[in-house]
Amino acid sequence: MRSYWLQVVTPKTLADKAFWMPDAGEQVVCLMDEYDEAGAVLGAVYSTVDTPPVQSPDKFHLSFRDGTVIEYDRAAHALTVVLCAGASATVNAPGEVLLESGGSQVSVTPSAIVLESGSSQVSITPNAIVLESGGSQVSITSAGVAISPPLPITSTVAQT
């Protein structure tokens, strides 16, 4: 049944906002007054034509027309984000963005990018690139390259 323009119920509209309009032609449930003169769209419903993208009650799933998917499986404790071809992801944070997995991490701050895994680390700052592993370090700055501990000045070449 078609109706005149109806308001769409959404979770938040004041200080925090949520926005996601139903697509034209999407099957929705409406709450109407007794004369069908006023009402609101409560949300969309699945049907035999538009079936749910997942069956698990443990999954929160969003799929977009372009193929992008965001899914969280609370039973597996797994967040999956799949971007469509040509898409990009942006995280805009004034502080630190930290990615951790096992013993490795990537930290991005306004002043540095640091990659750490075990006893190895790569730091990129506006003034230097520093590679460290165990007790060794290579620093690249505008003043040049420094290696610590220093490489031996002499070496032997063997003839074979």
Full set of structural domains in the chain with CATH: 1-51 (no CATH), 54-89 (no CATH), 97-148 (2.20.220)
- The per-residue pLDDT for range 92-144, each reduced to its tens digit, is 999 999 999 988 999 999 999 999 999 899 999 999 999 999 889 999 999 99
pLDDT tens digit string along 30-69? 999 898 888 999 999 999 999 999 999 999 999 999 999 9
pTM (global) more than 0.85: no
- How far, in Å, CA of 73 to CA of 54, rounded? 11
User: Which residue, among 6, 7, 41, 11, has the nearest Cα to 27 in the 3D structure?
Assistant: 41
Q: How far apart are CA 57 and CA 48, in angstroms?
A: 19
pLDDT at position 133, please?
93
- Amino acid in the structure at residue 91: V
Residue 102: the pLDDT is 86
Strand partners, 81: 70
Instruction: Return the HEC string of the chain.
Output: CCCCCCEECCCCCCCCCCCCCCCCCCCEEEEECCCCCCEEEEEECCCCCCCCCCCCCCEEEEECCCCCEEEEECCCCEEEEECCCCCCCCCCCCCCEEEEECCEEEEECCCCEEEEECCEEEEECCCEEEEEECCEEEEEECCEEEEECCCCCCCCCCCC
The pLDDT, as a whole number, for residue 155 is: 65
